[in-house]
Amino acid sequence: MKWQDYKLFFSFLRPHLWKEAMLFLIMIAGTVAGLASPYALKLIIDDYIPAGNVRGIIGLLAGLTVVYGMRLLLGYWSDYLGTWIANRVVHSMKLRLFSNLLQQPYAYFEANNPGDIIQKVNHEVHKIQSFLVGSFLRITNNVLLLVGLSFMLCLLHPGLFLLSLTVFPFSIFFNRYWNKEVKKVVEASSVKEGEVYNYFIDSIRQFKLIKLHQANSFEEKRLNNHLDNLFNLYQRATVLSSLSRNLAMFFVAAGPLLILGVGGYFTIQGALTTGSLVAFIQYMNRLYAPANDLVYFHVDFVKAKVSMQRIMPLLQYTPTPTPTGTLQVPIESLVLKNIAFSHGGTTIIPHLDITFEKGRSYAIAGWNGSGKSTLVKLLCQLYPPQSGELLINGQHNLLHFAPGEWFERIAVVHQEPLLFNDSIRFNILYGLHDVSEADMRQALQDTGMYAFVMEQPAGWDTKIGEGEGQVMLSGGQQQQLALTRALLKKSEVLILDEATSAVDASREANILSCLRKMQHDKIIITISHRLSAVMAMDEVLLLKNGQIAAQGSHEYLLSTNTDYMALFGSQIITHTNEKARLL
């Protein structure tokens, strides 16, 4: 990591400078208070006991009692302020990460697994939080304590103090030698943690498949393999960290033994008082814990540094500048002119020209892999085209306007309903403003969900999901709710991507009937494999290999295009037989 990377992390501390200054002063006061008792012991041994000064001993002990009381209060406020600052820093960091995450292009979410993203935004940040709350505060306090102890040791006997420092180069050498390996293992552990997150997410999503195939044992073995690999990485990191710490601390622990031998000799020779030697060893023993923490700190810092490096690209992310133009004209037509798009080196749409007009409905049909989903993403501006133009009314290039201008004008319903585990009200009003209950009621009636919602004890406020106290919706009901939200938006362009694929035939017919009634003031584009949805549209565009293979009404294509007949052949026969039966 470079200095500017660390500056980015320090920027999260800047808003809390006055609290940090207060914390620093409290730590200094606590350190000074903690240095009193060994020196008091020296005074008792060297001065008060030989002089028989009982009153002086009592007074000194009373003073130490007051100092200990102060240390108790200072320790409390130090812990409180330190934890408050660390938690606020992590709070701000998570907000920045999530904000930057939401500004990522759609391709980012296709290229990164959900588990990896969650691991970075949550788990890696928690590691940094643990470092800030535990290691960083502790090391700050210990650095102050080391400075204070060094001052007192130097005051008692400069020569012995310099001798005590000779053990530290060995400690530093072993610490740095092993921590290079620790860093590699910690990086591998972070990647593996992301894989485990992905496994859990995938397994929960595919729970029905696991259940129906009785694959419990198989999945347990898969998880066991993941966890074994992670366990081995954790153990290797522990072994390396332990070697680093314990070899380093062997030399730190040798310090008091060296001082006891040399200091004892000085005392016998009369160059050092007994009280000074006792105080010196007391201070040296206190030096052991913060010196030990310094060694531990480097290991903790290596782990936190790996976490920082993993979240750094997301934390530093700067969105690509987007146009700021405003779209002030009503949409009369949407023209795709010379559109081409490739992904991962594969050409998906080589050349595409389409015109969608207000007041008309369009069905986009085609085989799997023909480019339908890509076309939807291009229309939604989730993908930018490599070439060509998306024109409003044939003259305003959509790419010259702020994306929000287009998002305000369109409503999209996907095959997989995008719903939160929250109330029905929250879901159908998500992203909308100033929607009356009358509008909500009408939209729910149009999608056939009103009666169901009113049957629920909490009505609009019924929570949906699979948890306790929630109502589990069928796939069709989820699509109906998503469609309700789209209708409430009252958009100028409505895009339905297999939006009724899970809805039963009678409800789908009612929904399509409602859409036909409201299409006079909007463009409706539907992508569907269902003949019923395609037949309800004014015009059908048959997509093949990313290009328009045929275009016209359902009846026209049925009589003139063999590809169209092949695509819907079995459904057409079923539909024809059903009509004959009813007649």
Instruction: List own/partner pairs for 273-276 with CB under 8 A and 24 or more apart.
Output: 273/42, 273/45, 273/46, 274/45, 274/46, 275/41, 275/42, 275/43, 275/44, 275/45, 275/46, 275/47, 276/42, 276/46, 276/156, 276/157
The fraction of the chain above a pLDDT of 90, given in percent, is 18
Q: What pLDDT digit, counting tens, does each position of 460-496 carry? A: 899 988 777 788 888 899 999 999 999 999 899 999 9
Kind and range of the H or E run holding 285: helix 274-315
- pLDDT surpasses 70 at 288: no
Write down the pLDDT at residue 480: 92
- The candidate with the shortest Cα–Cα distance to 201, out of 124, 112, 128, is 112
d(CA 112, CA 101): 12
d(CA 392, CA 426): 32
Mean pLDDT for all residues in the chain: 83
DSSP class per residue in 160-201: HHHHHGGGHHHHHHHHHHHHHHHHHHHHHHHHHHHHHHHHHH
Q: Are 357 and 533 a contacting pair, CB within 8 Å? A: no
State the residue for tokens 């909308």. Answer: 432
d(CA 227, CA 193): 9
| 360 confidence band (pLDDT: 50, 70, 90) | very high
Alpha helices in 408-553 (DSSP H): 424-428, 437-446, 450-455, 475-489, 505-518, 531-535
Write down the pLDDT at residue 549: 92
Q: Are 1 and 305 a contacting pair, CB within 8 Å? A: yes
d(CA 248, CA 295): 7
Domains in the chain: boundaries: 1-157+311-316, 158-271, 333-416+490-582
Write down the pLDDT at residue 332: 93
- The candidate with the shortest Cα–Cα distance to 391, out of 325, 332, 324, 347, is 332
d(CA 17, CA 25): 12
The two most distant CA atoms of the chain are separated, in Å, by 124
- pLDDT surpasses 60 at 582: no
Q: What pLDDT digit, counting tens, does each position of 138-175 carry? A: 777 778 888 888 888 888 888 888 887 777 777 667 66
**What is the sign, positive or negative, of the torsion defined by CA atoms of 182, 187, 191, 197?**
positive
The amino acid that residue 270 corresponds to is G
CATH number of 333-416+490-582: 3.40.50.300
Higher pLDDT: 423 or 6? It is 423
Write down the pLDDT at residue 273: 85
| 286 confidence band (pLDDT: 50, 70, 90) | confident
| 191 confidence band (pLDDT: 50, 70, 90) | confident
Q: Which CATH class is domain 1-157+311-316?
A: mainly alpha
pTM of model > 0.95: no
d(CA 90, CA 344): 36
Tokens of 357: 């007009």
- pLDDT surpasses 80 at 127: no
| 86 confidence band (pLDDT: 50, 70, 90) | confident
